[in-house]
Amino acid sequence: MPEALLVAVPILPLVLAAALALPWLRGIAAAAVPLAALPAVAAALTVPVPVAYAEPWLLLGAHAGLTETGRVFLLFTGVLWLLAGFAASAGTPADPGRTGFLACFLLAMSGNLGLLVALDVFSFYAFFAVMSFASYGLVIHGRTQANIFAARVYIAFVVAGELALFAGLALAAQTAETTLLAELRTAELSTAALVLLILGLGVKLGAAPLHLWLPLAHTAAPAPASAVLSGAMIKAGLFGMLAVLPLGLRALPEFGMALICAGMLSVALAAVIGVTQRNPKTVLAYSSVGQMGVVAAAIGAGLLVPEAWPLLGPALVLLAAHHALAKGALFLGVGAFAAAPRGRRRSLVALALAVPALALAGAPWTSGSAAKAALADGLALVPTGWGTALGGALILGSLATTLLMLRFAWVLPAYAPNAAPAGAAARRTLPALAATALSAGLLAVWPFALPAVPAIDPVKAALPVLGGLALGAGVAGALRLGRIRIGEIPAAEGLALVSRDTDTQATRMPLAIRGPRWRPQRPRPVWPRLPADPWPLGGAAALALLLAMALIETARYLP
């Protein structure tokens, strides 16, 4: 029975996606989208761990099962997909791209849930690829110029990430002489393999400098898709790193330091660029970049000081669950807010959104403060130098998140997406409220999943939040007094320097005021057209030459 349940985790969404292709089943399949993640939640709650099954005929030998960590990931990922599925199925049936959107949504769900129950490199990579490529359909769904640009950037990063992951897994599996993820973790992998694995998974994680796709994609996708992109799918990168990196077993100081630096860069970039954004979804996306920066820094600390991992590991899992629910609630809430008619319901949604926003900022007694306290306990074991820097980064991260949440609250009321999703407001509001409730109640249920929630020091937790509030108020006041207007830094700032297409951002946001022009308009670089084929007859000439030479040579040797 547990085996059947585990198999159903990725298969049910897959079957529903296939059913969408058949016109006579389309209605039923579309109606069943909210239930597609049910096996995942059921499996996470009922399957005893650890459990492993082998399916030798599948792929190059597939193994499915559930680890302790996998179970927690499966639980929060499944819940988020369940809620997002409920919201996604609320789209208007008249939308011509709806079937395609739902199909991509289900495929991405299958990949995301499947990779959590995969125990070998082949099924993990297969589900990872299904998730990444299917999400293209989620990002491009609106078909506006901004969608198309975001999707193009997204797919470029996906392809690069997939290739790095492929090479990394191939190198790792070959050196470790195993295809089981758990055995890769204990093996001595080559530097090249580790670099490729971290790059491949890092693209999904979205920490700087591999984050450029993230703010674009999470802004462009419809709200339910953004919720799972930001809440669930980027955690697949974290899950992969937890699965293959020798965390707690071996010190890899160079990798640790690189990841810590990348993490700190993410936190700083997210704060500075995020607060200038005018689209609430972009603000949330940058907040994700910052949070994943914290995750990357914590993994780096684990690689630097393996002794700290027993504390850091559970803290990271808690942080992942907390971020998934809070960020999911916020994105679903933005969708519900935009769909709700002005009035009581809209105010209710806006009010509810304050709960996950406070949790993200790390206000006392929220899941965010617990996760951060747990992380701080682990980071305390990192020797001075890096340890101090990391502790500081954690506090700065809270401060930055508070600022970002303030910014979010500031820009939300004016948010009106180009194509406001009409109707079915209740179906969008309910999942948002459910996610909010789960986010608020996470700490109450957490001890049943993993037995480690540290005591929260309310004063310590409140300080960065209050500091952020004060800073935000101060900066806003100063800007108003001085009549200073700050332009929006284009999302995916690095790309803005090289691509003309980011200009379309101006058309994306209804309230956009053109930011500072980053560089003079340049004609679009013409892709060097390759000649069709310079050798239509050259080969034949070469062949004739070879033939003549061969004849002469042969004549010399023949008796």
- Are the C-beta atoms of 297 and 263 separated by less than 8 Å? yes
Nearer to other proteins, 122 or 365 (CB): 122
Question: By CB under 8 A, is residue 419 in contact with other proteins?
Answer: no
Crossing angle of helices 23-31 and 2-20, in 10° steps, is 130
d(CA 477, CA 485): 12
Question: By CB under 8 A, is residue 525 in contact with other proteins?
Answer: no
Which phi and psi (to 5°) does residue 503 adopt?
-60, -25
Of positions 34, 159, 449, 476, contacts other proteins by CB under 8 A: 159
SS3 66: strand
Please report, for the chain, how many H helices and E strands are present, in that order.
23, 2
Kindly identify the residues of this chain, within the stretch 2-21, that bind other proteins according to CB under 8 A: 21
Of positions 155, 227, 360, 382, contacts other proteins by CB under 8 A: 155
**Would you state the structure tokens that stand for residue 515, as one six-digit string?**
């930011």
> The tokens 């330091």 sit on which residue?
257
Of positions 56, 385, 520, 523, contacts other proteins by CB under 8 A: 56
Of the listed pieces 121-129, 456-464, 473-481, 502-510, which binds other proteins according to CB under 8 A? Answer: 121-129
Of the listed pieces 36-44, 120-128, 255-263, 333-341, which binds other proteins according to CB under 8 A? Answer: 120-128
Question: By CB under 8 A, is residue 341 in contact with other proteins?
Answer: no
Of the listed pieces 29-37, 76-84, 422-430, 532-540, which binds other proteins according to CB under 8 A? Answer: 532-540
Nearer to other proteins, 170 or 450 (CB): 170
- Are the C-beta atoms of 113 and 9 separated by less than 8 Å? yes
**Would you state the structure tokens that stand for residue 205, as one six-digit string?**
């994680």
Q: What burial letters (b/e) apply to 521-543, b meaning 16+ CB within 10 Å?
A: eeeeeeeeeeeeeeeeeeeeeee
Nearer to other proteins, 107 or 265 (CB): 107
Question: By CB under 8 A, is residue 554 in contact with other proteins?
Answer: yes
Question: By CB under 8 A, is residue 531 in contact with other proteins?
Answer: yes
Of the listed pieces 256-264, 325-333, 502-510, 543-551, which binds other proteins according to CB under 8 A? Answer: 543-551
**Would you state the structure tokens that stand for residue 503, as one six-digit string?**
């200009």
Question: By CB under 8 A, is residue 137 in contact with other proteins?
Answer: yes
Nearer to other proteins, 385 or 536 (CB): 536
d(CA 62, CA 56): 6
Question: By CB under 8 A, is residue 533 in contact with other proteins?
Answer: yes
Question: By CB under 8 A, is residue 557 in contact with other proteins?
Answer: yes
DSSP assignment of 453-517 equals -PPP-HHHHHHHHHHHHHHHHHHHHHHHHTT---PPPPSSHHHHTT-SGGGGHHHH-TT------
Q: Interface with other proteins by CB under 8 A: which residues?
A: 21, 56-61, 96, 100, 122, 125-126, 129, 133, 137, 140, 143, 148, 151, 155, 159-160, 162-163, 166-167, 170-171, 173-175, 192, 529-533, 535-540, 542-544, 546-547, 550-551, 553-554, 557-559
